Structure 1
Amino acid sequence: MTSIDSIFAPAIRGRFYRAIDPNFREFAIAGSRSAGRYSRVHEPTLYLSSSVDGVEVAMIAHRDARPVALEIVELDVEASGIVDLRDANALQAAGVDLADAVAPWQDIADAGGTPSSWAVRDRLVEVGANGLIDPSRKRPGLWHLVLFRWNAVDAPTIRLGGQLGGAAD
């Protein structure tokens, strides 16, 4: 039998990156304002990348739906309760299928449906996860941190670091 603790990756501490519209810099840690791979419109979710390259690769999928120039901000993160989607044992213990996480979602959401990746989030929240590590589909080796909750009691903490400029143009 698998313990609930075996679902979670070791605590994460470090610098992460996010592309934001410079006009909304004060909301950099407020989370997404629209639906995402792991979030319905009404579910604040913070999508971060472990590297600047990760931000730039992630933005490829959003080129048509973003401002012309984005600013990359640095965020200091301390997080536990994270499920690593790269860990087959953690996925099995959580009852999650990686295929559901990486399946296309945008057209389904736009048509009013429920993408399978939203069900992945629902399941992870059900087992007590604060977020997940999402492997890059565009560049193997890169990864992203997706937080379902932060800066609350018993949740990951996020602090705004510096800014790197318009590297996501």
Structure 2
Amino acid sequence: MPDAQSAGPLILWRAYVPKWSYLPLSGDGAARFGGRWNPVGVPTIYAARELSTAWAEYNQGFVQHPALIVQLELAGARLADLTNAAVLEEHGFDRAIHRSEWRSDLDKGNVPAPHRAYRKLFGAGFDGVFYPSFMSPGGSCVALWRWNGPDAPALRIIDPDGRLPTSPASWRKS
């Protein structure tokens, strides 16, 4: 299986800062600060395939910060499955990409291996990647670079009772 094209909806979990509860499908934080699989300026949704993995990735092994955890449904995405050794090899990557010290590379002025992979895969028409969780061994995550635009995969929040706020008005100023 060279690529993963989600035939039916893929259920994902996302943990994020509660202050942004009204923007569950925004990738602006990742665009502002960059991430493992996206350089600064590239909106990206980071989510996990398991609830426990979403929590572990959000906290990064540090203090357990408050989080809002939502379930997402992704349909029609072309994702490179970088958990699969054959797919890594096919695209010219090896397993070391998952241990990349990407922040250190950035600090040194170098382009991290996952950012080079982003350029290659996005340029080849991929919407994102599956990758193994660093914080939750055995778990897997998705970095999604395109969603809900023209000819893009559909990503929706599962909120059947409409409980998520639609504006920042629900937050008090501190």
TM over 0.5: yes
Amino acid of the structure 1 residue aligned with 2:130: I
Contact 2:47 2:54 in 1 (8 A): yes
- Residue in structure 1 matched with residue 15 of structure 2 by the alignment: 19
* Structure 2 Cα separation of the partners of residues 68 and 57 of structure 1: 11
Percent of aligned pairs with the same residue? 26
Taking the TM superposition and a 5 Å limit, the aligned residue runs for 1:1-169 are 7-11=2-6, 13-33=9-29, 34-61=33-60, 63=62, 68-162=65-159
* Structure 2 Cα separation of the partners of residues 91 and 40 of structure 1: 20
The unaligned stretches of length 5 or more in structure 1 are 1-5, 164-169
Answer with 1 or 2: which has the greater Rg. Answer: 2
Amino acid of the structure 1 residue aligned with 2:3: F
- Residue in structure 1 matched with residue 166 of structure 2 by the alignment: none
The unaligned stretches of length 5 or more in structure 2 are 164-174
- Residue 137 of structure 1 and its aligned partner are, at CA, apart by 2.5
Structure 1 residue ranges, 4+ long, deviating more than 6 angstroms after superposition: none
RMSD between superposed Cα atoms in Å: 2.4
* TM-score, normalised with respect to structure 2: 0.79
- Listed one character per residue, the Cα deviations across residues 92-149 of structure 1 (whole Å, up to 9, x for unaligned) are 2222233124311122224443211111111111221110001112333210011111
Amino acid of the structure 2 residue aligned with 1:36: G
The verdict on how the C-alpha distance between 1:101 and 1:79 changes in structure 2, with shifts beyond 3 A counting, is farther
- Residue 59 of structure 1 and its aligned partner are, at CA, apart by 2.3
* Structure 2 Cα separation of the partners of residues 84 and 110 of structure 1: 28
Report the secondary structure of 1:99's partner residue: helix
* TM-score, normalised with respect to structure 1: 0.81
